[in-house]
Amino acid sequence: MRIISKLKDIELFLDALRRRASAADAVIEKTAAIILNEVRENGDTSVLKYTRKFDYTGADTIRIRPLEISRYADKTDGKIVKALEKSSKRIRRFHEMQKEGSWLVKDMVYKKFSADKCADIPHTFLGQIIQPIERVGVYVPGGKASYPSTVLMNVIPAQVAGVKEIALCVPAPNGEINPYVMAAIEMLGVKEVYKIGGVQAIGAMAYGTKTIKKVDKIVGPGNIYVATAKRMVFGEVDIDMIAGPSEVLIIADNSANPVFVASDLLSQAEHDELASPILITDSRVLARKVGREVEKQLAGLKRRSIAEKSISAYGAIIIVKDIASAVKLSNRIAPEHLEILIKSPVTVLPLIRNAGAIFLGQWTPETLGDYSAGPNHTLPTGGTARFSSPLGVYDFIKRSSLLSFTKEGFMSIAKTVEAIADIEGLEAHGNTIRVRLGSYARKDYKK
């Protein structure tokens, strides 16, 4: 891995990262637009057309029936299924803690309430009602690899939120369907599953077809075409985020184990050629050791060619003067995954401002979060951790404001509202107050 310490070289590297995370190029956007428009116009016909073109020529149906899901799930190794079940329970327990409840205030006193039990609600109050989104579409990638963990991480928070309808799309390249993905789907009780992927799957969920009912929100990662399509249908439906290439940033001092650091960097590099593995350290000795260890471990990886390209283009070991400088640089990058491998990781935690997920200490590799720890692995990438959060239960709910005033309550703020409406030049707004106050003077105009 390259080792850089000069400010100029660091800035050039950061610029390369920013360009990597830039919007899709014109060719990808044009292709995505064509497919989306055709799916909107022709529905299932165009979905099958592009599934035959990009996935497998023999595609003749879209739906995977529950019996077919079970047949695929039966082909799995029981030990792996038990691992998925254990992970599922941990993920569900974590997300249960994110649930929000409706609330109201009377005289600015907070009180929880249930929207379906309104008998005891006072006549004058302000509040908020929480409701789940009705129908969600989940996209599960199936290109370079298949991810049963993506099923768990996207379906479970939706179920915890109370989403009634979940439709899941998973591509079947060369007509093959991953049995572990099907096992995860069966485990969670999802019945509505479609063997389609790519832009056509996003279009089908966003616009609806004869076979696939339109959803309200689309979640789940995918390649650059899928990410571009999600961005283009936003507004027609909601989306979780525009997922970019995976990234890990490790802050480490001379107490860190270089073997651990190297393995954690490579765990992201093997995702794809655009992944970004970064180490920031104040130790030149550690930097050299990690560089050598990366080369050793890289030699034995099955996905070596992918990891090599990732490291060459978007990987780096950055040497800074102290850990405080490392934290400052990390906050600028706003990484998807941030590992802190220093003597006392919690001491710098208050300084961390931008990170999708934070992993403290040498026994908390990022991989735990990918699969089994509990928090969601769908995280903001490309610096978007500056303003966005991991996928969670809150992504599958809607908030509605509640207002109820008696005459007495109305009178207490009427003049305030009238004054602001008049200042803004919105006469009809002010009239809604004046007609209730009895101060409205009708103007009759003659032709």
Active site residues: 336-337
- What is the C-alpha separation between 133 and 399, in angstroms, rounded? 10
CB 10 within 8 A of CB 318: yes
Compute CA distances 412 → 408, 409, 416, 422, whole Å.
6, 5, 8, 18
Compute CA distances 336 → 286, 287, 315, 446, whole Å.
23, 22, 14, 67
H helices present in 66-147, as ranges: 66-73, 78-96
DSSP notation for 391-434: --GGGGEEEEEEEE--HHHHHHHHHHHHHHHHHTT-HHHHHHHH
Specify the DSSP class assigned to residue 272: -
For the chain, first and last CA: distance in Å? 82
- What is the C-alpha separation between 69 and 241, in angstroms, rounded? 28
Per-residue b/e over 57-66, b at no fewer than 16 CB within 10 Å? eebeebebee
Residue where the block lists tokens 């249930």: 114
Residues 6+ away with beta carbon under 8 Å from 157: 95, 98, 376, 391, 392, 393, 395, 396
**What are the φ/ψ torsions at residue 301 (nearest 5 degrees)?**
-80, 140
Residues 6+ away with beta carbon under 8 Å from 6: none
